[in-house]
Structure 1
Amino acid sequence: MTDGIAVPWSTGGARHVLLAVHTGRRDIVDLARRSADRLTRAGITVRVLADEAPDLAIEGAQVVPADSDAARGAEIVMVFGGDGTFLRAAELARYSNAALMGVNLGRVGFLAETEPEAVEETLAAIERCEYSVEKRLAIEVDVIDASGVVVGGTWALNEISVEKAERSRVLDVVLGIDGRPLTSFGCDGVLFATPTGSTAYAFSAGGPVVWPDVEALLLVPTNAHALFARPLVTSPDSVLTVAVPPDGNRARVSADGRRTLDVPDGGRVEARRAARPVRIARVHPTSFGDRLVAKFGLPVRGFREARLPETRAHGPGREAPWSGRNVLERDVVAPHDGRGEVTGAPDDDA
């Protein structure tokens, strides 16, 4: 179907894959179409979202509304786009057992599993069910007014930001952990982040990078006017609180940059681990450390290879010519004789 009209579907014993696509770019649309064609030929039912169906024009695809039922009964939500598209797809997959699998067509694409050149390999893995599923901790918040009544709530995979509503004024906050006050200061805002989100907004605000299999919650102040305003890493079972005085600046909540709520005067925001994790499918056995190196272009080879005879002229801390070796392999770091001299440098052909 290509007319954008929703078609009823039932899971039965069939396999279903929902596509979430950044349709603003022709190359992304073309890649999504080719992927849908291969999945269909493999006997897998392809679903597309009603608001994307006219642009995708995938013949035979089931068209479903972009709501909480879109991914219900689906095995995979396959995302074609950057991290923004991935976060939008996470909203669709949240209330289902579908796992998210991203194809990075953005800039960093930290959440994505694969790059465009490896799509065929990824599709083959889906066809053969040769993938693993990670369960990522998500975070949810309640917005509570001055009388203690919950007036709103939302959730996020990356982070929830409590931020000032007026740019010209500082936001006064009181921080609490597990019902006990911790400190107060003026700032631009405070982030509640997950380990998955530690490489996103929290990273830009000076927070630590946390491996995604570590269960923890992060609290990261942004531009705080205080000596003690360091990022905090707490138990995943903690309740983190940001209270806003009634005579201070107005505040609002932003979840993954996609959903916003106003905080009442004198209200507070309480964050905790979400009841449901987000499921992410993985095909390639890449470690998180390797992902950090690849996504951020970290200089993993210059410092150690500078101590080898053929690269010593480059000096420590400077990039040496790439030798094709992995700095994490044992034979890259040569043994020394205790006087700082190399005693067994690996061959160039290793």
Structure 2
Amino acid sequence: MDVDVGIVAQRDNERAQTLAASLVDALEREGASVVVDEATGEAVEAAAVPVDAMAGRELVVSIGGDGTLLFVAREVGSTPILGVNLGEVGFLNAVAPDDALGVVTALVTELNETGTVEGRDLARLRASGVDADWSLEPALNEVLVHGPRRGSGGGATVEIGIDGQRYTESHADGVLVATPTGSTAYNLSEGGPLVHPAAETLVVTQMAATRAMPPLVVEPETEITLTISGSESAYAISDGRNRQHLEPPATVAVSLAEESVRLVGPQANFFDGLDKLE
């Protein structure tokens, strides 16, 4: 079996590390070439590499919650990912820990025999400066623009542009643009709609706006601009992690990223996940 596999286990999670060790043993017995992330390598006897070095392998297995898979997706780009769910909800991770050995070994066997496996592509967003030369790492969930700090009292004026036309302008805590994947995350907590994973749309949602308009659902190819003013500083943030400091007035362009995230193997049940939301 000539298949290259990477395994990333949730940091400081003994259960995830134990499962990673079992997967390494099973896959290496089948002849696969397996590496784990560096943090896991400190607890598991296996070859270890940085997560971004797993980009280009035939499969990467993410063991943990949706946050772990988001991290893996940022590092490996369009490399096929299988999620094993150790979290609470699991919109992205479809495989239960007890099923992981069987599912992963079957998937690797299929890869070895056919060179491909079924899956689905998840859109990502790219945020970049209109009047400045910068861009953020692609976001699987959302891009957020807000004033000097998040929350009450830290807002700014944000104008939302859709294909060159103004949708609305208001003082707000911020504005976010979410993918269908991200509709169940920050977008939902700010009153945005749930979007089925199969829908090819984006959602633009204001956060605590003084002159609020309903969240707007647009086609993925829509040209979205967020122009922020009325504050001394501001930020553009990708998936709550990567950020760019802005000096208002500043305009942020949000568009589809060139590379999507590829989830393979069994897919999570969207409606089962909704039942677990608080």
Same fold per superposition (TM over 0.5): yes
Alpha-carbon contact 2:41-2:47 (below 8 Å) kept:
no
Residue identity opposite 2:69 in structure 1? F
Task: List, as ranges, runs of 4+ consecutive aligned residues in structure 1 with deviation greater than 4 Å.
Answer: none
Aligned to 1:142: 128
Uncovered stretches (5+) of structure 1, i.e. residues with no partner: 1-12, 299-350
What secondary structure is seen at the aligned counterpart in 1 of 2:94?
coil
> Structure 1, residues 127-156: CA drift from partner, whole Å, max 9, x if none?
332741211111101024xxx232343320
- Give distance in 2, aligned partners of 1:73 and 1:271: 26
The equivalences for 1:1-350 within 5 A come to: 14-55=2-43, 57-58=44-45, 61-67=46-52, 70-94=53-77, 97-129=78-110, 131-144=117-130, 148-166=131-149, 167=151, 168-226=153-211, 228-245=212-229, 247-248=230-231, 250-283=233-266, 291-297=269-275
Residue identity opposite 2:118 in structure 1? S
- Give distance in 1, aligned partners of 2:22 and 2:210: 52
Alpha-carbon contact 2:148-2:231 (below 8 Å) kept:
no
Alpha-carbon contact 1:16-1:73 (below 8 Å) kept:
no
Alpha-carbon spacing, 1:14–1:128, altered in 2? closer, same or farther (3 Å): closer
Alpha-carbon contact 1:22-1:28 (below 8 Å) kept:
yes
Alpha-carbon contact 1:163-1:253 (below 8 Å) kept:
yes
Offset of residue 278 of structure 1? 0.9
- Give distance in 1, aligned partners of 2:195 and 2:261: 17
- Give distance in 1, aligned partners of 2:220 and 2:56: 29
Relative to its length, the structure with more strand (as a share) is: 2
> Structure 1, residues 166-192: CA drift from partner, whole Å, max 9, x if none?
353332111101122221011111111
Equivalent residues, number: 269
Identity level (%): 30
What secondary structure is seen at the aligned counterpart in 1 of 2:51?
coil
Aligned to 1:321: none
Residue identity opposite 1:203 in structure 2? L
- Give distance in 2, aligned partners of 1:17 and 1:294: 29
Offset of residue 249 of structure 1? 5.0
Residue identity opposite 1:142 in structure 2? S
- Give distance in 1, aligned partners of 2:189 and 2:154: 21
Q: TM-score, normalised by structure 1?
A: 0.72
128-137 or 236-245, which deviates more: 128-137
Offset of residue 80 of structure 1? 0.6
Larger radius of gyration: 1
> Structure 1, residues 190-242: CA drift from partner, whole Å, max 9, x if none?
1111111111111221212222222222111111111x421111111111111
RMSD between aligned residues: 2.0
Relative to its length, the structure with more helix (as a share) is: 2
Q: TM-score, normalised by structure 2?
A: 0.89
